[in-house]
A = this chain, B = another copy of it.
């Protein structure tokens, strides 16, 4: 334990409380419909604390999005590795995609990451965040598939971006239609084979 631990702990605790409360509310009601008084009330602190830890409401939202992307990427990674009985880089891509869609069954998560985040933080910021998590692993998956000679040689980052865009859209589709989308996406990915 460091000497200045209590201060650090205190700081981290309120920060976590704020992010957790914000996550819940942003997920339930969206960014615009959630007020900072609501958030601090749920977190058990005052607005002074909020604006001490974060520059503004956007910055708090960015922190929530960052965290959410991190846990999401972890979930996807596990899904892509699990079930190694059926190998092959293309299969891994499809498994990862299914893992993404499964993780995106949460309404609030969809709202925050796909709908609100681009509008609130801007595409550039979202890309930067995503680039450090889900998109990063997707690029690696695409690269692996290319190096294995499983699909055509294409620039991996643009391809990953476009695949990501498709998965985002598919995630927003009503649950009973999602299988159709999965089939079509499978066909699109399979069409990349040499």
- Chain A interface (Cβ within 8 Å of chain B)? 30-32, 115-116, 118-120, 122-123, 152, 154-155, 158-159, 161-162, 164-166, 168-170, 172-173, 177, 180-181, 183-185, 187-188, 190-193
Contact: B180 with A155, CB < 8 Å? Answer: yes
| Chain B residue with the shortest CB-CB distance to A193 | B191
The answer to whether residues A184 and B155 also contact, given A115-B118, A120-B119, A191-B192 and a CB cut-off of 8 A, is yes
* Residues of chain B contacted by A172 (CB below 8 angstroms): 123
Contact: A166 with B162, CB < 8 Å? Answer: yes
Contact: A187 with B192, CB < 8 Å? Answer: yes
Shortest Cβ distance from residue A155 to the other chain B in the assembled complex, whole angstroms:
5
User: Which of B115, B119, B152, B169 lies in contact with A161, CB distance below 8 A?
Assistant: B169
* Residues of chain B contacted by A120 (CB below 8 angstroms): 119
Shortest Cβ distance from residue A34 to the other chain B in the assembled complex, whole angstroms:
13
| Chain B residue with the shortest CB-CB distance to A179 | B158
| Chain B residue with the shortest CB-CB distance to A168 | B165
| Chain B residue with the shortest CB-CB distance to A192 | B191
* Residues of chain B contacted by A123 (CB below 8 angstroms): 115, 172
Identify 30 residue pairs between A and B in the complex whose beta-carbon atoms are under 8 Å apart, listed by A's number.
Answer: A30-B119, A31-B119, A115-B118, A116-B119, A118-B119, A119-B119, A119-B120, A123-B172, A154-B184, A154-B187, A155-B180, A155-B183, A158-B173, A158-B177, A158-B183, A158-B184, A159-B184, A161-B169, A161-B173, A161-B181, A162-B169, A162-B170, A162-B188, A164-B169, A165-B165, A165-B166, A166-B166, A187-B192, A188-B191, A191-B191
